[in-house]
Structure 1
Amino acid sequence: MAGGRLRATVLGFAGALVVFAVLFSLAGVDDLLAQLANADLRLVGLVFLVTLGWLAAWGFALRTVLDVLGVSLSVPEALFVFTGAMFANNVTPFGQAGGEPITALLISRVADTEYETGLAAIASVDTLNFVPSITIALIGVGYFVTETAFGTSRRLELALVAVIGLAVGVPALVYLGWQRRYRLERRVVGLVTPAVRRVARHVPRMPVPTVGGIEGRINGFFRAIERVAANPRGLAVALALSSVGWFFQMLGLWLAFRAIGTPIPLSVALFVVPIGAIAGVTPLPGGAGGIESVLVVLLVAAPLPTVTEPIALAAVVVFRGMVYWTPTVLGGLATGVVGVRS
Structure 2
Amino acid sequence: MQKRMGLIAFGIIVILALIWWAGIDETISIVRSTNWKYLSLAILMQALAVITWALRWRVFLNRANVRESLSRVLVAVLVGIFVNNITPGARAGGEPARMYVVSRGKDEIYGRTFATVMADRILDAIPVMLFTFVAFKYALDLKIHVILLILSISTLVLLLILGISLLFSFNERLAKGLLSRLLSLLKRVFPHKFAGVEEKIEKKFERGIMDFRKTLIDLSKDKVVFFKTLFYSLFLWVVMMLRTFFVFM
Structure 1: state its 5+ residue gaps: 1-12, 259-342
Tell me how far apart the structure 2 counterparts of residues 204 and 175 of structure 1 sit (CA, whole Å): 30
Which deviates further from its counterpart, 203-212 or 225-234? 203-212
Conserved 8 A contact 2:79-2:97: no
Aligned pairs for 1:38-187 within 5 A: 38-109=33-104, 114-143=109-138, 145-146=140-141, 150-151=142-143, 153-166=144-157, 169=160, 172-173=163-164, 176-177=167-168, 181-187=171-177
User: Which amino acid in the other structure matches residue 237 of structure 1?
Assistant: K
3-state SS of paired residue (2:34): coil
Q: Equivalents in 1 of 2:107, 2:37: separation in Å? A: 41
Which of 210, 226, 237 is the aligned partner of 1:246? 237
- Change beyond 3 A, Cα 1:168–1:186: closer
Q: CA deviation at 1:226?
A: 1.7
CA deviation string 1:148-199 (max 9, x = no partner): xx22x44212223235435654555556556x61222231232234344555
Pick the aligned partner of 1:234 from 225, 229, 238: 225
Partner Cα distance (2:243, 2:195) in 1: 47
**Partner letter of residue 190 of structure 1?**
S
1:116–1:221 Cα contact (<8 Å) kept: yes
Residues 176 and 185 (structure 1), Cα distance of their counterparts in 2 relative to 1, 3 Å cut: closer
Alignment partners' CA distance in 2, 1:59 and 1:246: 14
TM-score, normalised on structure 1?
Answer: 0.57
For residue 144 of structure 1, report the CA deviation from its aligned partner.
5.9
Q: Give the TM-score normalised by structure 2.
A: 0.75
Rate the CA distance shift 1:236–1:112 in 2: closer, same or farther, 3 A: farther
Secondary structure in 1 aligned to 2:93?
A: helix
- Matches for 1:309-320 after TM superposition, within 5 Å: none
Measure, in 2, the Cα distance between the counterparts of 1:110 and 1:136.
39
Q: Is residue 220 from structure 1 mapped to residue 220 from structure 2 by the alignment? A: no
Name the SS for the 2:206 alignment partner. helix
- The answer on whether the counterparts of 1:120 and 1:221 sit within 8 Å (CA) in structure 2 is yes
Is the 1:58–1:241 contact (alpha carbons within 8 Å) kept by the matching residues of 2?
A: yes
State the Cα distance separating 1:143 from its structure 2 match: 4.3
**Any idea what SS the aligned residue of 2:65 has?**
coil
Residues 76 and 99 of structure 2 are in contact (CA less than 8 Å); yes or no, is this contact kept in structure 1? no
Aligned to 1:274: none
Q: Distance in 2 between matches of 1:64 and 1:225?
A: 13
Q: Secondary structure at the residue paired with 1:183?
A: helix
RMSD value, Cα: 3.4
Partner of 2:10: none
Alignment deviations for residues 27-75 of structure 1 (CA, whole Å, 9 cap, x no partner): xx97x97666433111111101100011111111110110110112222
Contact 1:128–1:242 (Cα < 8 Å) also in 2: yes
Q: Displacement, 1:131?
A: 2.1
Percent of aligned pairs with the same amino acid: 20
**Contact in 2 for aligned 1:103/1:119 (Cα 8 Å):** no
The 3 A distance-change label for structure 1 pair 144 and 81 is same
CA distance 1:145–1:38, shift in 2 (3 Å): farther
